[in-house]
Amino acid sequence: MSCRNEKSTSSRVIRKVCHPKFALDKLNEETQKARRAGSPPPTMEFIQRLTRKKQQAYYAYTEKVIKANPDLAKLFVEMVDAQRALKRYEEQN
């Protein structure tokens, strides 16, 4: 995983955005191809489609690890709840 802080143009809220390394590697590869061809850069949605099989394997492994570690499962639920609360806050403001 690789994470960075991002702030959207119309918001003061800084969010940590994380992507798996395989997705970032594919993004770099496709960006180079686009530059050589004079095409626009790829979107993350496009990269997600290209890496769908790796994503599924990644999510299956993550699920297995979380299920095997109750403390990690609790932290994961707390993280998801916090992300949902942040999304609701951003939609209201």
Q: What is the DSSP string of 28-78?
A: HHHHHHHHHHTPPPPPHHHHHHHTHHHHHHHHHHHHHHHHH-HHHHHHHHH
Q: Chain-centre distance of CA 2, in angstroms?
A: 9
pTM of the model: 0.65
The tokens describing 48, both together, are 């997600």
Burial 6-26 (b: 16+ CB within 10 A, else e): eeeeeeeeeeeeebbeebbeb
pLDDT digits (tens, 9 = 90+) for 5-43: 988 788 788 888 889 999 999 999 999 999 999 999 999
Task: Output the average pLDDT for the chain.
Answer: 92
